[in-house]
Structure 1
């Protein structure tokens, strides 16, 4: 029961932080301004004077609200991760605590870097590439709800892609695989990267290339970092005990 009470307390703090930040953003600078910022890469690729459209009755209200909620979660991510860490830390070994906190910080930063790379590089390149193939007889007018779904999918795809170094380090540290095995699997990783990119990105070569190449590069970075990580030994597991919850 005490663990459930602790879990409830941590969840309330995390959710409360997100809600407070949401209302602050909703009032200032405003949900509409936040959506305009998110839509800037798409608007820059459209013909001059063209705007996005909303086909639903309540879509002009709900889409900016969803975008503001997403922004609030991203801003509150450090607090959310801290609450997760504070809940699980008492049940970890000392050496696991020393590893977990840097991994939590690095994984959150890498996820944000992945989102930033998607927004500033991928969107600008992909939207310009797609617009260049649009026939002169049509005027592109993307729906804002479809655009939000696309953006969230791409943010998630690139955010998770930038977590590859953390995954490699964890696999090596836990002793699941070795550096030699990961190096020998490099060819499969490259093929898998392009397969994943083909599935989660739009059906154009540019976006697939912009996802697959960073995934391969980050895999190599993970291998370099993992070379300095000592795999967990059986003796280490036997000689360490979980921290007290007091």
Structure 2
């Protein structure tokens, strides 16, 4: 039985590149369809979401009696912004669906006894994604307030709508995706694509990259905001390594017992 399982794994490993690309294309198409359906729903929630994005700007304008506002410069800008916000909402609300597609691509050919791992992956990835989104939503008004604060008192700050919305939506999505990456690490280790010891050996580079990414993705000059992103990501990274090491040891013991019998 152990040899049969090994042969099945070897068969999956010998899949031609065209088959992998075809699987990736199919999963990508399904993920895009899910985002598109979510975007249709997001179209109807555009107004409250845009008002929430604009709220920190209006709060600074009222508090400091400053000339600060979001500026729609072109005739089609309002429509373009509505489409962007709708797509942003589509990515958020369809997260469970495209996260499942990611898992299905990383870990194909699951046996009946292994299908429970799908629930484990989604049970960890979905809450972590929304935790990252929530943290970014907490950081966002602080970032807006600090960045607008650099405007001289005698000057006006008309925020170009395209850049303003891109800044807000990218910040939120990057936080969410960053928090999911450790779960992807575990999935790659589970699928025997990357060994846990490989992740462990690269921990110094990983910590460095996490702090650099946190410094870039949290556009505020205070260290506290950067740490709010970097520290949880480092903790999640080492947790993912620990889970991977545990899984590999348990698998090695199981295979040794199977060969011995």
**Alignment TM-score, normalising by the size of structure 2:** 0.67
- CA deviation map 1:38-83 (0-9, x unaligned): 3334433444574211122211121022101221232123244456
Unaligned runs of 5+ in 2: 1-21
Q: What is the distance in 2 between the residues matched to 1:133 and 1:200?
A: 18
Per the alignment, residue 125 of structure 2 pairs with 107
- 1:35 aligns with one of 40, 43, 50: 50
- 2:252 aligns with one of 222, 233, 238: 233
Q: CA deviation at 1:103?
A: 1.0
Per the alignment, residue 216 of structure 1 pairs with 234
Per the alignment, residue 7 of structure 2 pairs with none
- CA deviation map 1:12-40 (0-9, x unaligned): 776555444433443x44x2332222333
Q: What is the distance in 1 between the residues matched to 2:23 and 2:238?
A: 39
Per the alignment, residue 59 of structure 2 pairs with 44
Q: What is the distance in 2 between the residues matched to 1:12 and 1:185?
A: 33
| Length, aligned pairs only | 231
Distance change >3 Å, CA 161–CA 144, structure 1 → 2: same
Q: What is the distance in 1 between the residues matched to 2:162 and 2:83?
A: 12
State how 1:55-204 maps to structure 2 within 5 Å. Answer: 55-82=73-100, 91-94=109-112, 96-119=114-137, 121-170=138-187, 173=190, 174=192, 176-178=195-197, 182=200, 186-202=203-219, 204=221
Unaligned runs of 5+ in 1: 240-246
Instruction: Report which structure shows greater RCO (CA 8 Å, sep ≥6).
Output: 1
Per the alignment, residue 53 of structure 1 pairs with 71
Is the 8 Å Cα contact of residues 114 and 162 (structure 1) preserved in structure 2? yes
